[in-house]
Structure 1
Amino acid sequence: MRLLVLGGTEFVGRALVDEALARGWEVTVFHRGRHPAPPGVTVLHGDRTAPDGLLALNSGASGQAAGPYWDAVIDTWTGAPVAVRDAAAALASRAEHYVYVSSRSVHSHPTAPGADESAPLVDGDPDDKEDGDYARAKRGGELAATAAFGERALLPRPGLVIGPGENIGRLPWWLNRAARGGPMLAPGPRSLPLQYIDARDLATWTLDALERGLGGAYNTVSERGHTTMGALLDAVVSATGNRAEPQWTAPDTLLLAGVEPWSELPIWVPPGELHDTLHGADVSKAHAEGLRCRPAAETVAATWQWLHALHGQAPHRPDRPQVGLAPEREAELLRQLPTT
């Protein structure tokens, strides 16, 4: 297949490019040139937020006035929906399919446990030039892609995405923390179920779906309870040499101490409404179409191998805040809080 990836140089986009290249597909990446492009691709440079920023998509037309033709376009944009609108409109007659990698965040909060793709959605506007509200921006992107491609638009909706190449810092923070060793604050309960997806599994399913011509929205995360907080941190400790000693702490104790779930202790949110929203999706539709998620220990080990090769210095998106407890704050919490 001839594939155009808008972005394609970091995390999810890079995982999609790597998987396409492994299948022998012809891959073109269109990006701003801020990060090296993967070897083996055709590179087009442009800034989709600038006037005439999409002009490079007309290069290499091989005599076609409308520009080159692709079997599919993949778009991982997380900013203002108008950028998706303009790209999708420009490519509607030059590509068979358009994949917009969206998010389960497009569902209205709170989302009931067991909700599928038909659950209520936030309002979105494909003409919106603002990107301050992530959920509305992603929903606007969905509407833009669907307006241009109709049933030819595929909308994977992942939730938490981890794995090698992560540039948000959640799993890398835990790995670096465990590698330092010593007593490590661990948010309970150990049995807390987690639902997420490895970026490589998301890439595999997305390209399989393209080959089968699927369209529409799909919740693309693991089955509920694919792993637990305890199993994940056990894998983190094991992968980094068993130097850390998890000190399991009750969720109410952490909350009373002012610990911020998700940001100060990445990945973790306590049992309750937010946890049900993040980790309670019905994923039967995507799994019926072949979605398979590798064991957590495999994701953790591969992420540590990647991170260790970078000497613990994972790339970080400038538009996302840093995550994780500062060592001094963690030490103070360990002194003050009852742990097991």
Structure 2
Amino acid sequence: MGQTRRDLLKVGGLGLGAAALSGLGLQAEARTMSVVPKADRPLDLLILGGTGFTGPFQVRYALARGHRVTIFNRGNKSLDWPGPVEELVGDRNEGNLSALEGRRWDVCIDNPTTLPFWVRDAGRVLENQVDHYVFTSTLSVYASNADPGADESAALLEYQGEDRMAETMKSVRANMALYGPLKAESEREVARWFPGRHTIVRPTLIVGPGDATDRFTYWPVRLARGGQVLAPGDGKDPVQLIDARDLAEWTVRMAEAQAGGAYNAAGPDYRLTFDAMLHGIRAVTGVAAELNWAPAEFLAERGINPWSDMPVWIPSEGEYAGFASRSNRKAIDAGLAFRPFADTVEATLAWFRDQPDDRRSQLRAGLTPEREAEALEALRAASS
């Protein structure tokens, strides 16, 4: 189905206009929090993590909703909060969760876990200390990406190693093929320790202000630079992503509801193609930029890889035909909502421009200007 005019307005933010979003960033986000409605019942909420990408948005939103918030992490990052937050220190890599012992919370939100033994150790302490457990997983847990529209009932990956409890973050970094299976095993461990009282949230690519990976940030920054832009494929490949703020706020509301089951946290709530995404970004930047679409075969011949060199993009064919087309109906029915795409773009740019010079000097994903220029020259030669 083609995009409607309503879809294009939502993608580009043209109904608001880029100027109306000027200056939107974390300060504006803080002002927005002042008008967040209170929850029906204040909760004692434990957040494992709390200072990473989505964690600070969760904490601020939970405080705005009237909840009493405790965070637990290694204590390596200090943040200012708009209200009282209890901070407990421990190291899950070393099994040190003693700070959690003898306490009670209504709900625990587990943000950073990739490893099954982290869930096991948390379960040993929290099994009788929390009423409900919310686990942040990933769409990477699915065994197949071949079927567009697949929902939460699709089969999950199985761990094929010797001992799932022996895997560490070091082993995951050395072999990223372990990431999905270990997340799936972590989900199974959650079900073992908190049967009938857990929620599994499976996000797609998380984007927005604060993203340390630059996987989405590459495109707003690149289009804001203008000129000739190398774009992957033919623009028709689908895209799914979710603003970290939308994910964080919905996760807190799911904690309030203590809704069980698994949910694909994927946006937006309309079909978004790569072409529409890039045009939407360009509309927000207001900078003249010409998109040069390069076939997948051309990119592969030059060692320009999907996802890393061309972030967000995976050709939707074969085993990846459904990669960016997961059903999000269950999550939307459970209250997942999405801010305008233009808001995400502008907030991402505002955040990135506020980073130190050394952080902005080299993006952590995407092509360098030199590699892009070489590819564009080769593309022009091939076209002529």
Same fold (TM over 0.5): yes
Which of 87, 108, 120 aligns to 1:85? It is 120
Q: What's the counterpart of residue 18 of structure 2? A: none
- Tell me the equivalent position of 2:190: 145
Q: Paired residue for 1:325, among 367, 372, 376?
A: 367
CA deviation after TM superposition for structure 1 residue 256, in Å: 3.0
260, 265, 280: which is aligned to 1:235? 280
SS of the equivalent of 2:54 reads helix
Give the root-mean-square deviation of aligned CA atoms. Answer: 2.4
Aligned residue in 2 for 1:49: 93
Aligned counterpart, 1:76: 111
- Runs of 4+ off more than 6 Å: none
1:10-55: per-residue Cα shift (whole Å, max 9, x none)? Answer: 212222222212212111111112222341321111111114x111
Counterpart residue number, 1:33: 75
Note if contact 1:20-1:27 (Cα within 8 Å) is conserved in structure 2.
yes
Is residue 2:45 matched to residue 1:3?
yes
Which of these residues, 128, 131, 150, is aligned with residue 96 of structure 1? Answer: 131
Q: Deviations over 1:150-203 (max 9, x none)?
A: 111110011111112112211222223233332121123223321221111112
Task: Report the TM-score when normalising by structure 2.
Answer: 0.78
The code of the aligned residue for 1:86 comes to D
2:199 matched to 1:154?
yes
2:348 aligns with 303
Q: Which residue of 1 aligns with 2:308?
A: 263
8 Å Cα contact 1:5-1:30 kept in structure 2: yes
In the TM superposition, what whole-angstrom CA distance separates every residue of 1:190-227 from its partner, at most 9, and x where no partner exists?
23321221111112222222222201111111257542
SS at match of 1:297: helix
Which residue is equivalent to 1:174? 219
Structure 2: stretches of 5+ with no match in the other structure:
1-42, 173-177
SS at structure 2 position matched to 1:72 = strand
Q: How many angstroms apart in 2 are the aligned matches of 1:273 and 1:302?
A: 35
On the 8 A contact 2:138/2:202 being kept in 1, the answer is yes
Q: Distance in 2 between matches of 1:34 and 1:322?
A: 22
Query: Which among 89, 97, 118 is matched to residue 153 of structure 2?
Result: 118
Match of 2:228 in 1: 183
Q: Structure 1's 88 and 222: CA in aligned 2 closer, same or farther, altered over 3 A?
A: same
| CA–CA distance in structure 1, aligned partners of residues 275 and 286 of structure 2 | 17
Aligned twin of 1:21: 63
Name 2:376's counterpart in structure 1. Answer: 334
Say yes or no: does 1:279 pair with 2:324. Answer: yes
Q: Is the 8 Å Cα contact of residues 265 and 325 (structure 1) preserved in structure 2?
A: yes
SS in structure 2 of the partner of residue 135 of structure 1? helix
Find the partner of 1:245 among 275, 290, 299.
290
Q: Using the alignment, how far apart are the partners of 2:323 and 2:357 within structure 1? A: 28
- Equivalent position amino acid for 1:113 in 2: P
Q: Distance in 2 between matches of 1:18 and 1:228?
A: 32
- CA distance in structure 2 between the aligned counterparts of 1:225 and 1:274, rounded to whole angstroms: 23
Matched position secondary structure for 1:185: strand
* 1:179/1:134 CA distance change after superposition, 3 Å: same
Aligned position for 2:165: 127
CA distance in 2, matches of 1:152, 1:289: 16
| Cα distance in 2 for residues equivalent to 1:128 and 1:153 | 24
* SS of structure 1 residue aligned to 2:165: coil
> Given the superposition, is the C-alpha separation of residues 162 and 286 from structure 1 closer, same or farther in structure 2, using an over 3 Å criterion?
same
- Give the fraction of aligned pairs with identical amino acids, expressed as a percent: 40
Note the alpha carbon deviations across 1:96-122, whole angstroms, 9 max, x for none: 111110011111033421111111111
Deviation of 1:312 after TM superposition, in Å, equals: 6.9
One-letter amino acid of the counterpart of residue 137, structure 2 = S
Taking the aligned partners of 2:223 and 2:236, their CA distance within structure 1 comes to: 20
Distance in 1 separating the partners of 2:127 and 2:258 = 16
Tell me the TM-score normalised to structure 1 length.
0.88
Q: Secondary structure at the match of 2:144?
A: coil
Letter in 2 for 1:49: N
Question: Which deviations, in whole Å up to 9, do the C-alpha atoms of 1:259-313 show, x marking residues without a partner?
Answer: 1000001101123135433211122211111212223222111211222222576
Which fold has the larger relative contact order, with Cα–Cα distance below 8 Å and residues 6 or more apart in sequence?
2
Taking a change above 3 Å as real, the CA distance of residues 126 and 206 of structure 1, as seen in their structure-2 partners, is farther
Match in the other structure for 1:61:
none
**Contact 2:206 2:244 survives alignment (8 Å):** yes
More deviation, 173-182/99-108: 173-182
Give the paired residue count.
326
Q: Distance in 2 between matches of 1:18 and 1:167?
A: 19
2:69 & 2:144 partners in 1: Cα distance? Answer: 37
Query: Are the counterparts in 2 of residues 193 and 225 from structure 1 also a CA contact under 8 Å?
Result: no
Q: CA deviation at 1:126?
A: 6.2
